[in-house]
Amino acid sequence: MPAPATPEAPAGWDFSDVVGSDSSLRRFLHGLPGVDQVGAEARAAQLGTRSIKTTAKAFALDLAIRMVDLTTLEGQDTPGKVRALAAKAMRPDPSDPTCPPAAAVCVYPDMVADVKQVLGDSGVKVASVATAFPSGRAALDVKLADTRDAVAAGADEIDMVIDRGAFLSGRYLQVFEEIVAVREACTAADGREAHLKVIFETGELQTLDNVRRASWLAMMAGGHFIKTSTGKVQPAATLPVTLVMLEAVRDFREATGQMVGVKPAGGIRSSKDAIKYLVMVNEVAGADWLDPDWFRFGASTLLNDLLMQRTKMTTGRYSGPDYFTLD
């Protein structure tokens, strides 16, 4: 599938002429190149067949571990559970000091302080969902308070959900302004700013055209990352959806000079699948995105499979799931 045309705009474009009204924003988003769904699915499938050699596979496994946002978002989460998860994120394989740490631990806002206490200055980030996750059905002041509470508790990253009802109704300016407001709420009283990941819930957006529009909308509003899913709705992350999002961040950098990260989340459970995503990142967006600062996996079970595959490569023996903690 050929790369879509990039909207013509000078580097550093601030979009002020686009976001002045709902009608102008709608014209811009609906003027983006349409997505060839058959072509996107075919290219994603073709990229998924790429094989990599042993040395490259070892590098890919370690890179994928470094990209994992180790996640627990359950009503039964306890301080003890999230503390154990934080310890695992820092030392995924306690028997092997060469194993890299995960990128972040993602929890609900009321668990942030417990995670922060364990992680300290380890370099592993504390991520928190906010804005009435996962539905996003709350008043804006409630969403902003949710965000501020998480940042005040020590969150380094905020994963917000867009109002899908507003987006699907064509109220794009409302969604844009909400993202802008949440990003402003990501700044703590001491001036520390948490990075903002914008979750689309792509399983509810219905079309790949909508995925492209949501991607541009979130990037124009100042999101640091665009993220597929909450993990609570199926389908969650898929290769075709992630392909469209990677094209969007690539085109956005060409148009503005600004890089934005991508985070597929939900349903990525195996090392084989993770490597497919890394191949796609390299082929579609480029090698600059092969870094935890620009690409993440939202996952609760992926890390264990990465650890099992890593152990097999380093020792020649396959260790079953019982050798690693259940999260």
Coil, helix or strand at residue 224: coil
Catalytic residue among 88, 116, 197, 263: 263
Active site residue 81: no
pLDDT at residue 16 in the model: 79
Q: Per-residue pLDDT tens for 76-132?
A: 999 999 999 999 999 999 999 999 999 999 999 999 999 999 999 999 999 999 999
Residue ranges of the chain whose pLDDT lies below 50: 1-11
Residue 54, burial from CB neighbour count under 10 angstroms (0-12, 13-18, 19+): exposed
- Domains (ranges, CATH) in the chain? 22-315 (3.20.20.70)
Q: Which of 227, 251, 273, 305 is catalytic?
A: 227
Which among 80, 77, 108, 104 is positioned nearest to 92, based on CA atoms? 104
Is 273 marked active-site?
no
DSSP 248: H
What's the confidence (pLDDT) of residue 15?
80
**Pair 159, 128: CB distance under 8 Å:** yes
Active-site residue flag, 88: no
The pLDDT score that the predictor gives to residue 7 is 46
Pick the catalytic residue: 159, 163, 251, 305? Answer: 159
pLDDT over 90 for what percent of the chain?
Answer: 84
